[in-house]
Amino acid sequence: MRREAPRRLADYAPLLFPGLMLLVFFVVPFGTMTAVSFFRRQQGGFYTPDFVLDNYGRFLSPFFGNVLGFSILLAVAVALACVALALPFTFTLSRMARRFQVLWLVALLSVLSLSEVIIGFAWSTLLSRTAGVTNILVALGLMNEPRALVPSLGAVLTAMIYQALPYTVLVMYPALVRLDPTLLEAAKTLGASPLRAFFNVVVPALRNTLVATVIMVFVFALGSYLLPQILGRPTHWTLSVLITDQAVYQSNMPFSAAMAVFLVLLSLALVGLTTLVGRKDEGA
């Protein structure tokens, strides 16, 4: 069983099933979605095959501009906050004894596996009036009466950070676990305090990882379709919320599809950027 290039056509056989599956159920759906984005919407939730740019035209409205701007700002805020929190945490994690690392990893994976619905439910409960964290503050005497902390921008932001944090840690983990521990030690022997050594030496060494992680988390955060809806007001709705809303409740598939296509292009461009940044790092 030598590792060699395929010679006969039959050698390509293993690719048949996966290739077909991915083609039919991944590539084609994107095709249909793109096609639908050009269709004409009709009253009553139907749409006719057509080729109009109306749906894309709506991108130019101030409403859409607001939503897009807000979505991007929110995702940037989440990405930066998550990376800032995850960096010291993942660094500490990577230096722990193996069995403690495993414990934390199992916990993080478990939280990561939760769907947005459950996270939304959990946080709306945590911030509610009757069952929320304010009840504890009242019990401690710090507040007079319990209060609902939703809906609010703070709630949306916090829940999105909660959702993205395990993902951020796992994206950073490989690079941090492979970081040379003697770099930090060398800086300490040269007189840098641990904190200073961390910022002078560890952070610059991880520069490209950090940039790539911010981008990945940004794309991840853009995909939050429920948290802004459950925990925020309509002004807090993001692009993904709009996509779901238009597709399911407003029965406006073409517009929803158009926004989705836009989001795909944006995501692909950013992920492509990440791989470029990552490749540049390899030479160093």
Partner 1 sequence: MKTRWPQRLFLGVLALFMAAPLIIVAGVSVNEKQSLEFPPQGFSLAWYLEIFANREWRNALWASLGLAACSAALAVAVAFPLAWFGWRRIAPWTRVLQLLGVAPFVLPPVITALGLLTFWATTGFYGQAWTAVISHATFFVTLPLVTLTLGFSSIDRPVVEAAATMGADDATVLRTVVLPLILPYVISGYAFTFVLSLNEYIIAYMTVGFTLETLPIKIFNALRYGYTPTMASVTVLFISLAALVFGLIARHGDLPRLLGAPAAERE
Partner 2 sequence: MSGLEIEGLSKRFGAFTAVDQVALSVTRGSFVCLLGPSGCGKTTLLRMIAGLEEPSEGRVRLEGEDITGLPTHRRNIGMVFQSLALFTHLSVGQNIAYALRIRGVASEAQDKRVRELLEMVHLGGFADRPVAKLSGGQRQRVAIARALAHSPRLFLLDEPLSALDAKLREAMQVELRQLQQALGITTVVVTHDQREAMTMADLVVVMGEGRVRQAAKPIEVYRQPADAFVAGFIGSTNLLPLTRAADGSALLWGHRVDGLAMPAGLAAGVLSVRPEDVRLQARGSGTLDARITFVRDLGATVETFLSANETTFVSVASPRERGPFAVGHTVGVALSAPQCLVFAA
Residues contributing to the site for partner 2 (CB under 8 A):
180, 182-183, 185-194, 196-197, 200-201, 204-205, 207, 284
Q: From partner 2, partner 1, none, which one binds at residue 48 (CB under 5 to 8 Å depending on kind)? A: none
Shortest Cβ 197–partner 2 spacing (Å): 7
Give the per-residue contact string, 107-126, with partner 1 (x = CB under 8 A; - = no): xxxxx-xxxxxxxxxxxxxx
Tell me the β-bridge partners of 133: none
Q: From partner 1, partner 2, none, which one binds at residue 200 (CB under 5 to 8 Å depending on kind)? A: partner 2
The residue behind tokens 């409740």 is 249
Euclidean distance between CA atoms 122 and 144, whole angstroms? 24
Task: State the number of binding residues for partner 1 (CB under 8 A).
Answer: 92
266 contacts: CB under 8 Å, gap ≥ 6: 222
Cis, bond preceding 174 (omega within 30 deg of 0)? no
CA 157 from centroid of its chain's CA atoms: 13
Euclidean distance between CA atoms 233 and 248, whole angstroms? 19
Shortest Cβ 61–partner 1 spacing (Å): 21
Euclidean distance between CA atoms 170 and 277, whole angstroms? 18
Q: From partner 1, partner 2, none, which one binds at residue 205 (CB under 5 to 8 Å depending on kind)? A: partner 2
174 binds partner 1 (CB under 8 A): yes
Binders of partner 1 among residues 51 to 90 (CB under 8 A) are 85, 88-89
SS3 assignment, position 271: helix
Q: Which is nearer to partner 2, 23 or 177 (CB)?
A: 177
Shortest Cβ 63–partner 1 spacing (Å): 19
Binders of partner 1 among residues 1 to 40 (CB under 8 A) are 1, 3-6, 11-12, 14-19, 21-22, 25-30, 32-33, 35-36
Shortest Cβ 105–partner 2 spacing (Å): 23
Shortest Cβ 235–partner 1 spacing (Å): 20
For residue 45, give the DSSP letter: S
Instruction: Tell the burial category of 35 from Cβ atoms under 10 Å away from its Cβ (0-12, 13-18, 19+).
Output: middle
Q: Which is nearer to partner 1, 200 or 267 (CB)?
A: 267
Q: How many CB atoms lie within 10 A of CB 214?
A: 20
Give the per-residue contact string, 196-235, with partner 1 (x = CB under 8 A; - = no): -----------------------xx-xx-xx---x-----
Shortest Cβ 102–partner 1 spacing (Å): 5
Binding residue for partner 1, selected from 64, 101, 277, 281, defined by CB under 8 A: 101
Does the CA dihedral 219-222-223-226 come out positive or negative? Answer: positive
Tally the C-alpha atoms within 13 A of residue 261's C-alpha that lie toward its C-beta. 20
